[in-house]
Amino acid sequence: MKMKTQIIPGSRTLLYLLIFMLSSCVSQRNVWMFQDDSSQKGQSDVKHSPKPVYKLKTGDHLYIKVYSVDPKTSKFFQTDFPSLMNSTYIYLNSYVVDEDGYLHFSFIDKMMVKDLTVEEVKKKLQETLDSYFKEATVTVKLVDFQVSVLGEVNSPGTYTIDKDQVDIYHALGLAGGIKTFGNLKKVTLVRQTIDGSEVHKLNLSDVSMLSSEYYYLMPNDVIYIPTRKAKSFVFETVPYGTILSSLAVVLSVIAIF
């Protein structure tokens, strides 16, 4: 005996509702990074772009430390004293670039450092030290290397970078990663320049971003992760497990009657 399939009145609406709820989920491809549709072998070789060069400006803080095997030189620069190498100590023991672009350090009256790189300042200091001391080595580090990550990330805020460089993906990692509805394809990068602020739109889901000139961040960069248009507060607030269970019960009751 053949049984005919019958659509139970009212169940069609519930079925459509169920399909709509399930389809409201964000596609996995919308949150994937390093996508490369042109790759046929599943592997791509991408070369990083050169690291951008940061030129010092007024108000920057430089941590400067001189080391030497000569006890007298070491004592002169107090490198024979123990130091706490944390961010607070480094900041308090840093030297600021004054409003005229000069750096005042120890026995050096003043040195013009504005528009120079950290490496260029290190070289100038080393040359000056070599004319006064033997076997002395100077270390120079930019203290106030900060980036801000805002928008659809788990821990938005401003982060101090303790390395010479950081890329945009590591900055997202510091911010706890993006949320479900973060739009990786329309990320905004705000960069401070001598002429003012520059705004750049980036696609962080594209593997070619690894070779972009904006892959490496500069001090005071601001990254904003916008919200996808498909975001729905229902997806984040409604208990889907409870609703699906209730729908199953309702469908079972309708089937009985």
Those residues whose C-beta lies under 8 Å from the C-beta of residue 17, and which sit 6 or more positions away, are 247
Q: 134 and 155: one domain?
A: no
Q: 126 and 76: one domain?
A: yes
Q: 134 and 150: one domain?
A: no
**106: pLDDT strictly greater than 90:** no
Residue 248 located in a structural domain: no
Distance CA 113, CA 104 (A): 10
Those residues whose C-beta lies under 8 Å from the C-beta of residue 205, and which sit 6 or more positions away, are 30, 32, 33, 34, 35, 184, 185
Residue 244 located in a structural domain: no
Write down the pLDDT at residue 7: 46
Structural domain containing residue 156: 145-225
Place 88 in a pLDDT band, splitting at 50, 70 and 90: confident
Q: Read off the CATH number of the domain in which 121 is found.
A: 3.30.1950.10
Tokens standing for residue 121: 């300042």
For the ranges 2-11, 81-90, 219-228, the maximum mean pLDDT occurs at 219-228
Write down the pLDDT at residue 222: 97
Residue 207 located in a structural domain: yes
Helix (H, G, I), strand (E, B), or coil: what is residue 117? coil
pLDDT tens, residue by residue, 49-72:
677 888 999 999 999 888 888 787
Helix (H, G, I), strand (E, B), or coil: what is residue 201? strand
Q: How many domains does the chain have?
A: 2
Q: 76 and 134: one domain?
A: yes
Write down the pLDDT at residue 21: 52
Residue 108 located in a structural domain: yes
Q: 106 and 155: one domain?
A: no
Residue 251 located in a structural domain: no
Give the end of a domain, one of 121, 142, 163.
Answer: 142
Residue 242 located in a structural domain: no
Distances (CA, A) of 174 to 27, 127, 187, 222, 243: 24, 37, 16, 13, 36
Those residues whose C-beta lies under 8 Å from the C-beta of residue 230, and which sit 6 or more positions away, are 24, 26, 181
Distance CA 63, CA 83 (A): 13
Q: 152 and 138: one domain?
A: no
Helices and strands per DSSP (H, E), number in the chain: 7, 10
